[in-house]
Amino acid sequence: MTARDLSRAHIESFLEMMSAERGAAVNTLQSYERDLLDAHAFLSRRGVSMSRAASADITAYLAGLAAEGFKASSQARRLSALRQFFKFLYAEGLREDDPTGIVDSPKKGRALPKIMSVDEVTRLLSLAEQEAAQPGPEQLARARMLALLELLYATGMRVSELVSLPARVQETDERFLMIRGKGNKERMVPLSRSAIAALKAYAGLKTAANLPAENPWLFPAASKQGFLPRQVFARDLKDLAIRAGLTPSKISPHVMRHAFASHLLQNGADLRVVQELLGHSDISTTQIYTHVLDERLRELVETHHPLAKQAKTRD
């Protein structure tokens, strides 16, 4: 039996073990088979069998995948299949080592957060303001939505912090708000004039509606916690986005928080200040927004710079 045939036989034995001993699903077995046969084909072109492949061969295979444009997640999946396969060969006494043992997993790039443009935020707030001004049985709910949005965009609060604000907040005339965040840590955030105005309008409608005074929450609701569930706010926000002509799948309370941070940095705010406002314990968490701005600047140049346009024309 040739080395090529032997390698294929080893792969078949491995798949039989995964099916019989570990009960792997058909889709899983098919995925393992595709990945291992692909690695087998690569190594064969290098004149190396699977049973004799060294760490350098595995690294070369991963580098080849990267050069072909495979994402880090896809490379990591192929490496995982190889790790399982070589552990099997070692356990069966078919190899004396595992060449994947010292191979580092491909580093996955950190996903950039979704953000909204200033225009999109403005459209949402403008529509919420228009609807809150319309009298009728739903005016209190619409005023609540405006207050939620104004507070969220003014402060960048986490949605859990926003919906659980205490009722005493509606009585403030101060330009700053104390928020209790993760780890019971407190931080101070500034309020915009429009946020304060929306709060007062909402408070006035609550008073007129004669809601139970004993409820301690700013946004009371008939829920287990006693305040507005964040899922309800997220649903209502998507409905508002649809009415504003925006793509609802791209809009959420968390995306509004991202918009708050990225718009501040876009207008020259210090990264440390944004870190404090967001309540991040580690500045590396906040730095992701600088990557968002870098990406947007790159897209802006590629879209509008004359030389970039000329290059696209030549292509």
Cβ(219)–Cβ(228) below 8 Å = yes
Q: For 3-91, CATH number?
A: 1.10.150
What pLDDT score does 230 carry? Answer: 93
Q: Which two tokens stand for residue 35?
A: 């990945």
pLDDT (average), residues 291-308: 53
pLDDT tens-digit map of 147-202: 999 999 999 999 999 999 999 888 777 788 888 888 788 899 989 999 999 999 99
pLDDT tens-digit map of 239-269: 999 999 999 988 999 999 989 988 888 888 8
State yes or no: is 280 an active-site residue: yes
What pLDDT score does 245 carry? Answer: 96
Query: DSSP assignment of 161-222, as one string?
Result: HHHT-BGGGGG---SEEEEE-GGG-EEEEE--HHHHHHHHHHHHHHHHTT--TT--BSSB-S
What pLDDT score does 300 carry? Answer: 46
Intervals of CATH 1.10.150 along the chain: 3-91
Residue linked to tokens 């590629």 = 302
Cβ(223)–Cβ(181) below 8 Å = no
What pLDDT score does 299 carry? Answer: 52
What pLDDT score does 133 carry? Answer: 95
| Catalytic position from the list 71, 182, 291, 305 | 182
Cβ(294)–Cβ(265) below 8 Å = no
| Catalytic position from the list 206, 230, 258, 280 | 280
pLDDT (average), residues 123-141: 95
Residue 281's pLDDT band (cuts 50, 70, 90): confident
State yes or no: is 289 an active-site residue: yes
> What residues contact residue 290 under an 8 Å CB cut-off, 6+ apart?
265, 271
| Catalytic position from the list 32, 61, 202, 289 | 289
Cβ(38)–Cβ(78) below 8 Å = yes
| Catalytic position from the list 8, 87, 180, 254 | 254
Q: Does residue 211 carry a pLDDT above 80?
A: no
Give, rounded to a whole angstrom, the gap between the first and last alpha carbons of the chain: 50
State yes or no: is 238 an active-site residue: no
What dihedral angle (degrees, nearest 10) is formed by the CA atoms of 215, 218, 220, 225?
-80
Mean pLDDT (the chain) is 85
State yes or no: is 182 an active-site residue: yes
| Catalytic position from the list 10, 123, 257, 258 | 257
Query: DSSP assignment of 33-51, as one string?
Result: HHHHHHHHHHHHHTT--GG
Distance in angstroms (rounded) separating the CA atoms of residues 147 and 169: 12
| Catalytic position from the list 40, 78, 158, 206 | 158
> What residues contact residue 190 under an 8 Å CB cut-off, 6+ apart?
154, 155, 175, 176, 177
pLDDT (average), residues 134-148: 95
Q: For 118-302, CATH number?
A: 1.10.443.10
What pLDDT score does 124 carry? Answer: 96
Residue linked to tokens 């405006």 = 146
Cβ(218)–Cβ(203) below 8 Å = no
Question: Among residues 207, 121, 128, which one has the least CA distance to residue 156?
Answer: 121
Percent of the chain scored above 70 by pLDDT?
Answer: 87
pLDDT tens-digit map of 73-110: 889 899 999 999 999 999 999 988 999 988 888 876 55
What pLDDT score does 3 carry? Answer: 55
What pLDDT score does 18 carry? Answer: 92
Distances 69 to 32, 57, 75, 197 between C-alpha atoms, Å: 20, 19, 10, 52
